[in-house]
Amino acid sequence: MAKKRLFEIAKELNMKVKDLQDVLASKGIKFKSHMTQLDEDEVRKVLNQKASETSDKSKNTKNLEEKTFKESSPSKPVIKLPEGVTVREFAEKTKKSPTEILKILMELGEFLTINQSMSREAAELVAEHLGLKVEFMSPFEEVPVETEEETESEQVPRPPVVTIMGHVDHGKTTLLDAIRQTDVALREYGGITQHIGAYQIEHKGKKITFIDTPGHEAFTAMRARGAKVTDIAVLVVAADDGVMPQTIEAINHAKAANVPILVAINKIDKEGANPEKVKQQLTEYGLVAEEWGGDTIFVPVSAKQRTNLDELLEMILLLAEVQELKSSISGPARAVVIESKLDRGRGPMATVLVEKGVLRVGDAVVAGLAYGKIRALFDDKGQSVEEAYPAQPVEVLGLSAVPEPGVEMIVVEGEKKARQIAEERALRARVLAAQKRHVSLEDLFALSKEREDVVLNLIVKADTQGSLEAVKDALERIKTDGARIKILHTGVGAISEADVMLASASDAVIVGFNVRPNVKTQKLAQSEKIEIRTYRVIYELTQEIEAALRGKLKPEFVEETLGLAEVRATFKISRLGVVAGCYVMEGRVTKDSKVRLLREGSIIFEGEISSLRRFKEDVREVKAGFECGILLDGFNDVKVGDLIESYQIVEKKPV
């Protein structure tokens, strides 16, 4: 048999390979490297005979046969390995030389280099040969960090953490500035001397923490990394403008994060302000005012005139009181990284919000792939502090690298332990990047077989409000047993990076009707493994989604993007039409490919190329970095700044 099979039989019998070989050799059965098969019946016969002989011997007799069938010791050493461990890392874990590990792998028929990854089977067999047991860590599991169990009596009330969200010009920044000025302590310090992304104020003896990242993109980006930082979302809506596209996005992002929403109707001092109209508009999105029988708190304010700011802060404290926000101040501290930067003078800096425990100068910490010993802590006023309590934002100095926003910072026993955890995480991250995947339409039905009820989260974008309503209505009418559609967000305009981040955080598929993502958004979607589907005909969209829900989706042809060109000049030529002078930005544009003309993310034309030229010569293709002239077949409304996307329809190979 192959030596690999010999390893498997030894493992099955709880024996070491050398012991099994000794037993077989004692009966004249010798292993030869050129043998491809071993008579397993004869092996079983020999082993059964040895078992019989062992049972008749004295308990004090310790010979090879007794050793062969003795139960393995429960104290067998266990090593924990990540998926995709390399030969070098395996050798370090087992305290063996890489050469020795490579030699055993060669005997198994595995020819690897020192930096190549080992399969699970190979790692188990080599460990068995060394008398060790392997436990594999899932790449999605967190590296275990020792924590102390906390009891209810150890928990104490903490300040609420608030994020302000809303449309870009509805006064979020002005409101934040006005709230800052309500804090007496800040006025004593002459205002904020150092901006660190979050700050605390005190209102009537109670503290409130505000995260100074009001954009819903940042809010969702942190949630996509697993951070549940915000306790309350304050939605700012201008009384004179009403609900706008980004207002709707902010509502959807807050709801997806399951965060209570408090509405601040701003600019009530302006002419044309209509707070009642805002309340009416927001009822369409599930935000009904308390006086109308709902459960959403509405506060009319004027950030500029500082009207009703006290009432807003009191309502925030009321919501916090209802939630009974508590944290433990005992045990190792934990915090969330809100933002980070590389300071030229001081090195890596991270703004963190303490979740539990007390963070102190001198603590050894690990944050994602970064680790270190805290050398200094600075509060939101730039003052040096020795410790930070739950819901208190501080800036941390002393990390080995710049951590990603949204990762958790954990206090561990010592700097050596912190470094070990960071290195193990880096090892796992390599495998995680390769395995990262979100739900797609093709595997939706397979998922429904594993779960009783499958939800397909969708983000829908369209070119016009009318088209959007039609698509949304058609999707909501699709009904299938065992699977259902949940529309997380809808919007008009090109598919954006914010849409991709929301899809990543909520495991959703993005559907575009007559709109396309730009190059930057496409690259983000590829890195986040988010599926984007675009359509021109509404019944094709509904048929494909319904087929996915019913498990009948079998696409035979797929679209393959070839390249992208930007229109930089136009030339009107008699008897031909308008020729677009283009620069190929990426990929290639081919004469026989299909093309679509994009203007601000919307599809203006879809068809073929009538003529493709370079320096008055007809060419079959033009690659990235070169200029060319493109004449679209039957279309002349080309403008400078338009994008021409070249693509082809190819048959999808069966997997």
Catalytic residue among 172, 381, 461, 489: 172
CB 236 within 8 A of CB 162: no
pLDDT given for residue 7 in this prediction: 63
Q: Which domains does the chain have, with CATH numbers?
A: 3-69 (no CATH), 78-137 (1.10.10), 158-326 (3.40.50.300), 332-434 (2.40.30.10), 444-555 (3.40.50.10050), 559-651 (2.40.30.10)
Angle (deg, nearest 10), helices 120-129 and 98-107 = 110
Q: Given pLDDT bands bounded at 50, 70 and 90, which one contains residue 191?
A: very low
Span 163-171, mean pLDDT? 81
Supply the mean pLDDT for the chain.
78
DSSP per residue over 558-615, as a string? EEEEEEEEEEEEEEEETTTEEEEEEEEEEEEEETTSEEEEEETTEEEEEEEEEEEEET
Span 128-155, mean pLDDT? 62
Angle (deg, nearest 10), helices 87-94 and 98-107 = 110
pLDDT given for residue 315 in this prediction: 93
Per the model's pLDDT, the better-predicted residue between 138 and 292 turns out to be: 292
Torsion, Cα 512 516 519 522, to 10 degrees, reads 20
pLDDT given for residue 48 in this prediction: 59
Cα 543 → chain centroid: 29
In which residue are the tokens 């860590």 written? 137
Per the model's pLDDT, the better-predicted residue between 40 and 314 turns out to be: 314
3-state secondary structure of 646: strand
Whole-model pTM: value is 0.52
Torsion, Cα 33 35 40 46, to 10 degrees, reads -60
Give the C-alpha distances (Å, rounded to integers) separating 344 from 176, 348, 351, 361, 392. 29, 9, 16, 21, 26
pLDDT given for residue 254 in this prediction: 81
CB 393 within 8 A of CB 353: yes
Q: Given pLDDT bands bounded at 50, 70 and 90, which one contains residue 343?
A: confident
- 608: tokens are 């073929």
Catalytic residue among 173, 464, 542, 570: 173
Residue 248's closest CA among 466, 490, 513? 490
pLDDT digits (tens, 9 = 90+) for 599-623: 888 888 999 999 999 988 889 999 9
pLDDT digits (tens, 9 = 90+) for 208-257: 998 865 455 555 555 544 456 789 989 999 998 888 877 887 888 788 77
d(CA 610, CA 599): 20
- 281: tokens are 């508009």
pLDDT digits (tens, 9 = 90+) for 64-94: 344 433 443 445 688 887 767 788 888 888 8
pLDDT given for residue 590 in this prediction: 93
Q: Quick one: 643 exposed, middle or buried, by C-beta within 10 A (0-12, 13-18, 19+)?
A: buried
Residue 472's closest CA among 480, 455, 464, 494? 464
Per the model's pLDDT, the better-predicted residue between 66 and 635 turns out to be: 635
173 is catalytic: yes
Three-state helix/strand/coil letters over 600-632: CCEEEEEEEEEEEEECCEECCEEECCCEEEEEE
- 414 phi and psi, to 5 degrees? -155, 175
Check residue 653 and report its DSSP letter: P
Span 296-303, mean pLDDT? 92
172 is catalytic: yes
pLDDT given for residue 43 in this prediction: 60
Catalytic residue among 39, 169, 343, 443: 169
CB 523: neighbour CB atoms within 10 A? 13
3-state secondary structure of 80: strand
- 210: tokens are 């505000």
- 298 phi and psi, to 5 degrees? -110, 130
The pLDDT of residue 171 is above 70: yes
pLDDT digits (tens, 9 = 90+) for 447-489: 555 555 567 889 999 887 777 877 888 888 887 766 778 888 8
Phi-psi region of 25 (alpha: psi -120 to 50; beta: other; left: phi over 0): alpha
Beta bridge partners, 649, equal 559
Catalytic residue among 129, 216, 279, 461: 216
d(CA 574, CA 115): 64
Check residue 307 and report its DSSP letter: B
The pLDDT of residue 139 is above 50: no
pLDDT digits (tens, 9 = 90+) for 524-577: 888 888 889 898 888 788 888 887 776 644 556 678 889 999 999 998 888 888
Q: Given pLDDT bands bounded at 50, 70 and 90, which one contains residue 641?
A: very high
CB 611 within 8 A of CB 590: no
pLDDT given for residue 186 in this prediction: 42
pLDDT given for residue 170 in this prediction: 81
Helix (H) or strand (E) holding 24: helix 17-26
pLDDT given for residue 396 in this prediction: 94
169 is catalytic: yes
